[in-house]
Structure 1
Amino acid sequence: MSEPITDGRRAKGERRKQELIEATLRVVAREGVAGVSHRTVAREADMPATAAAYYFQGIDDLLTAALTRSMDDDAERMRLLAADADGGADGLRALAERMAEVVVAEPGALLAEYELYLLAAREPRLRPATHRWMDAVADFARRYTDDAVRIQILVGVVDGMLLQGLLHDRPPSADDFEAVLRTVLVEPARTPGSAKADAL
């Protein structure tokens, strides 16, 4: 008889933890990492002041959970894009549209992710989640090239373009993103007879 009650409590506890993580991301987006405290996160989640401290031992645990959740969600979306990509134009367009959507429709979430990204640069224990994101971007690139340098460039380009997209009054469009992705991943056709082609 006690199992359903226990399971129900466990499920309720997990829901509350997820709500606190989402609240943490909103606080980071609005106030930066420095604005995160048990009290501010609990207030953001509309929970008692002690709730965050109950579910997370310290602020570091809360930030780790938020970073992991954010990066893993993004990595999974990237893996889905990679799974559908076949090395053609449709895959590039899908990624470009996703990048434009994030910058335009989800700038607060993106800002929070970069705040946490920078925190991972200072805290090695936070880096596995960011590495999973970068690995997922690299997997997408491998649908288009086996050149290790191009793959590395794409990982840097995607991060850089998303970050720069937050700095412009007019965010880049899907067309803007696609043009850069195409330049990085699609090797230009060589013109027969050209000096460069002959040299190769």
Structure 2
Amino acid sequence: MPDDAPRARRHDPQRRDRIIDACLDVVVAHGVAGTSHRKVAAAAGVPLGSMTYHFAGMDELLREAFTRFATAASDQFERRLGAARDAAEAKAAVVALITGDVLTTRRDLVLTSELYTLAAREPAFRDLTNRWMARSRAALERHFDPVTARMLDALIEGLTLHRALDTEPHDAATAAEAVERITRPAG
């Protein structure tokens, strides 16, 4: 092949997805502040030029990556609550989310914390966290009124973070009691 002949482009339909997945891995390893096009390209095994071909900038890449993460978390949340057939099963599903489904890995904890921090610093990313919370509340509202769903969503977030960060083990009975208190009829 002559030196001046154009090179054939390598067909790589999964490249964009690999870049998004690699971005999440880089965020886990280096935080949002330490994430760069160069690090993501290296982690994805793609040429640096692929970054600007697929994404207008780092904000777009981070938005795509965190959207993928939040969507997967919301899907899991909806599956757990969608399987509940009555109020008792819905309460048990909430306890399962708190004690074993959400933030069960260091990766999930770091990604969640990085997304929350990014949304706190950059209002443009709050739409991601707001959509995530809206999906969580909608799943809860299949079984609970909107006010109770909002309280349960906050409880899940809070107790899950405590479980993930506390040095002392957490008792599932405490989570069950908290859910029971929030869902108890007034009066």
TM tier, smaller = 0.7 to 0.9
Aligned CA distance change for structure 1 residues 149 and 94 (closer, same or farther; 3 Å): closer
The TM-score, its normalising length taken from structure 1, stands at 0.74
Contact in 2 for aligned 1:72/1:129 (Cα 8 Å): no
Q: Which secondary structure does the structure 1 equivalent of 2:102 belong to?
A: helix
Structure 2 residue aligned with 1:126: 125
Structure 1, unpaired ranges of 5+: 1-7, 189-199
Aligned CA distance change for structure 1 residues 178 and 48 (closer, same or farther; 3 Å): farther
Could you tell me which amino acid in structure 2 is paired with residue 163 of structure 1?
Answer: L
Aligned CA distance change for structure 1 residues 178 and 53 (closer, same or farther; 3 Å): farther
Structure 2 residue aligned with 1:141: 140
Return the alpha-carbon distance in structure 1 between the equivalents of residues 175 and 110 of structure 2: 18
Deviation at 1:16, TM superposition (A): 1.5
Residue 103 (structure 1) aligned with residue 103 (structure 2):
yes
Contact in 2 for aligned 1:38/1:49 (Cα 8 Å): yes
Residue 163 (structure 1) aligned with residue 155 (structure 2):
no
Aligned CA distance change for structure 1 residues 165 and 38 (closer, same or farther; 3 Å): same
After the TM superposition, which segments of 4 or more aligned residues of structure 1 sit over 3 Å from their partners? 101-104, 170-179
Aligned residues with identical type, % of pairs: 31
Return the alpha-carbon distance in structure 1 between the equivalents of residues 57 and 173 of structure 2: 43
Return the alpha-carbon distance in structure 2 between the equivalents of residues 91 and 60 of structure 1: 37
Return the alpha-carbon distance in structure 1 between the equivalents of residues 155 and 95 of structure 2: 12
Structure 2 residue aligned with 1:197: none
Aligned CA distance change for structure 1 residues 170 and 98 (closer, same or farther; 3 Å): same
Contact in 1 for aligned 2:81/2:93 (Cα 8 Å): no
Task: Please show how residues 8-157 of structure 1 align to structure 2 within 5 Å.
Answer: 9=11, 12-13=12-13, 15-99=14-98, 100-104=100-104, 106-146=105-145, 148-157=146-155
The TM-score, its normalising length taken from structure 2, stands at 0.78
Structure 2, unpaired ranges of 5+: 1-9
Contact in 2 for aligned 1:20/1:42 (Cα 8 Å): yes
